[in-house]
Structure 1
Amino acid sequence: MRLLAPDCTPVQRAAFERWRDADAAHAAAYREVALLWKLSKAAMQDPALAAAARRALQPEPRARQRRWLIPAFAAGFAALAVAAIVPRWLAPPADPAGITYTTSAGQQRTVTLSDGSSILLDTDSDVVVRYSARTRRVDLLRGQAQFSVQGNHAWPFVVHAGAGTVTAVGTQFQVRLDEQVTEVALLKGKLAIAAQAPGGATQDASLIGGQGLCYDQSGQISPVHNADLQQAKGWTQGQLFVHNWRLAELVAEMNRYSDTKLQLGDPSLQNVRISGVFRTSDQRTLLLLLQQGWAIRARRVSDTQIQLLR
């Protein structure tokens, strides 16, 4: 009301702009109020409501003893009209139909979105993108992705993954979805993370550039830690930086990038420690290095399976 008043001052408008820009929730709240104002204005122009108002203002003289019925009817009709409009406004709008983007094993793909943001999908990953007037929503269904987001405080960018959400405004970050945990690494900017337990309780956390965290399916968020930026940037360039990994971890990671899966044929190999830099697309060189540097041999058991033995 104040903004629409003719005597609204520049100081008041500036204060409003500061408030709206301070938080994406403020901007969303203002958009909702503006929408209700617009809907109520449209309701005022409804022919049925206008006719009821005219009847209420010009009652018939012969029905003077029942004049109260006419304005009461008009008021009731208006209330019904508003009651029909307001629930539709209050109810959350249906999610728009999503667009699905997918990569197969060994494939990476960059998707440029309508607002200039982009998603780099890692191997064997799925996302669904749903943009609406209220929010930019992306559902990470499987795998790993890097998000480069164009800033817009009034239009938050929200990634749904596992049991939580990651909300960004003008940032670059990565989200990885595993069976048990979801990992978040922030390359630059700021992030807000919310994780929800099955019972409905939530935990919140925030990150600044260079930090990371993870949360599990129970909604528990880990302490914030320094992200492994070398590892985070490495996979976007097809490289895997391995620092004292267990062989079982290395095999599991390399298997994400190939249809031919490596298998540990000897349980004693699981805890063999490996360090090095490997090309995610070059399984053959990995096998040569393992056989040259460690007491390991590779045996192909089928077209899609190679067994590692002592």
Structure 2
Amino acid sequence: MLDSPELETPGDDLIEDAARWLASLDAGSEDMRAFEAWRDADPRHAAAFAEVAGTWHALNDLKHFKAAPFAPAGPVTDAEVAEQDENPASSPTGSRRTLLRAGIGIGVLALAGGSFTYRAAARDMASTDIGQRRKIVSGTDMAVDLNTDSRIYWKDGAPLQLWLERGEIAIRLVAGNSLSLITQGGTFHLAAGFYNARLRDESCELTIIQGQGRLGDDPKILAAGETALATAGLATVRRDENEIDRVTSWRSGTLVLNGESLDYALAEMNRYLEHKIVIGDPGLSKLRIGGTFDTADPSEFLLALQTSFSIRTRRDGNGGVVLTRA
């Protein structure tokens, strides 16, 4: 009679690695694709992560970890081993391993689906393709609308946490809740209200439609009607309440232009199009455009260019549209 195979218990080195992955993923400082590649490379990785995630979920707090980017664990020195043997409770490594080992027995979940463990212990994700819009509701606390080509992660808690990885979103936060909005430009701390956030290069632009917030540790309050452009944790703030309708028009599938250049107008319209519109004559780029246009169908936008500026359109070999003078 053959013995039943047993799942190998993850070693301390894998537990350390898995814990660092989870801490970095929870802080939003690690790439989920890189994590999944590590997890799927070896069943022991998945088991170690499930063990760590189970303990994380049970304790709801791993204060021994700092939210730092992932780095493989280095070897433990003889001095560290001696110190742990003499006083295991006071050793950060020993204490951490004691906490993580409390989750033994959960490893089998990883074999049934590592992504389930990740989602339960860390973050949920939603995204849109080019031209799509989507609404996500997190219980009764928060609703998020995603614009074209966007991706978010979120996690319940107090405060709620929301990571904007790509694109643009509108956030409605119900009274009694607060939110940490984590972006490449910095982390916004928001009270209940209505907000629009859009990534721009290395920055994040946050428009406060209702409510208030602040950026990072800056005590300055951002108020309704203000737009903050956050870059590397610092913000420049402007106020233009007439801009609110333009900023939020995408939620109804429209693009509002108020005399912006054709260059700008095309950059905005092309966000929604698989087949882009490009300028074939550089002299057209500074033309000023105004109006409200359907982002799902560029035909009325192109017709307005033809009618107002005698611009000719033609299809290129890739299905895009080239603009030239008539």
Q: Distance in 2 between matches of 1:220 and 1:254?
A: 29
1:151 is the counterpart of 2:175: yes
Deviation at 1:82, TM superposition (A): 7.5
The within-5 A match list for 1:7-26 is none
Going from structure 1 to structure 2, the CA distance change for 1:273 and 1:99 (only over 3 Å counts) comes to same
| Structure 1 runs not aligned, ≥5 long | 1-34, 36-78, 195-201
Given residue 107 of structure 1, which amino acid in structure 2 is its aligned partner? Q
Task: Indicate the residue corresponding to 1:123 in structure 2.
Answer: 148
Instruction: Determine the C-alpha separation between the residues in 2 that align with 1:161 and 1:304.
Output: 34
For 1:228-271, what per-residue CA distance to the aligned partner results, in whole angstroms no more than 9, with x for missing partners?
A: 11112311111111011010110010001111100111111111
Please give the alpha-carbon distance, in whole angstroms, between the structure 1 residues aligned to 2:220 and 2:322: 42
> 1:280 corresponds to which residue?
295
- Does 2:226 correspond to 1:226? no
Stretches of 4+ moved more than 6 A in 1?
A: 82-87
* Structure 1 residue 301, shift from structure 2 partner: 0.5
Q: Secondary structure at the match of 2:263?
A: helix
Structure 2 equivalent of residue 198 of structure 1: none
Structure 2's unaligned 5+ residue stretches are 1-58, 60-86, 100-117
Q: In the alignment, is residue 206 of structure 1 matched against residue 221 of structure 2?
A: yes
For the residues of structure 1 that align with 2:221 and 2:122, how far apart are their CA atoms? 30
Aligned residue identity for 2:267: A
TM-aligned CA deviation for residue 222 of structure 1: 0.9
CA RMSD of aligned residues (A): 3.2
Q: Structure 2 residue aligned with 1:192, among 210, 214, 218?
A: 214
Return the alpha-carbon distance in structure 1 between the equivalents of residues 128 and 88 of structure 2. Answer: 51
Aligned-pair CA distance for 1:208: 1.6
Match of 1:175 among 183, 191, 197: 197
Letter in 1 for 2:174: Q
Counterpart in 2 of 1:249? 264
2:309 corresponding residue in structure 1 = 294
Give SS of 1:119's match. strand
Matched residue type, 2:188 = V
Quote the offset at 1:97 in angstroms: 2.2
Distance 1:180 1:309 in 2: 32
CA contact (8 A) 2:137 2:144 kept: yes
Matches within 5 A, 1:26-105: 81=89, 96-105=121-130
State the TM-score, normalizing by the size of structure 2. Answer: 0.61
| 1:205-239 deviation per Cα after TM superposition (whole angstroms, max 9, x unaligned) | 422222212122x4331133224111123111111
Q: Which structure has the greater CA radius of gyration?
A: 1
Partner of 1:259: helix, strand, or coil?
coil
| Contact 1:203–1:221, Cα closer than 8 Å, also in 2 | no
- Contact 1:203–1:219 (Cα < 8 Å) also in 2: no
Matched, 1:268 2:292: no
Corresponding residue for 1:40?
Answer: none
Task: Indicate the residue corresponding to 2:47 in structure 1.
Answer: none
- Please state whether the residue corresponding to 1:184 is helix, strand or coil: strand
Which residue pairs with 1:67 in the alignment? none
Assess if the C-alpha contact under 8 Å between 2:148 and 2:272 holds in 1: yes
Give % identity. 25
In 2, Cα distance between equivalents of 1:215 and 1:266: 35
Q: Deviations over 1:36-86 (max 9, x none)?
A: xxxxxxxxxxxxxxxxxxxxxxxxxxxxxxxxxxxxxxxxxxx96587799
Give the structure-1-normalised TM-score.
Answer: 0.64
Give 1:109's aligned residue.
134
Q: Which residue of 2 aligns with 1:160?
A: 182
Partner of 1:137: 161
CA positional deviation for 1:289: 1.0
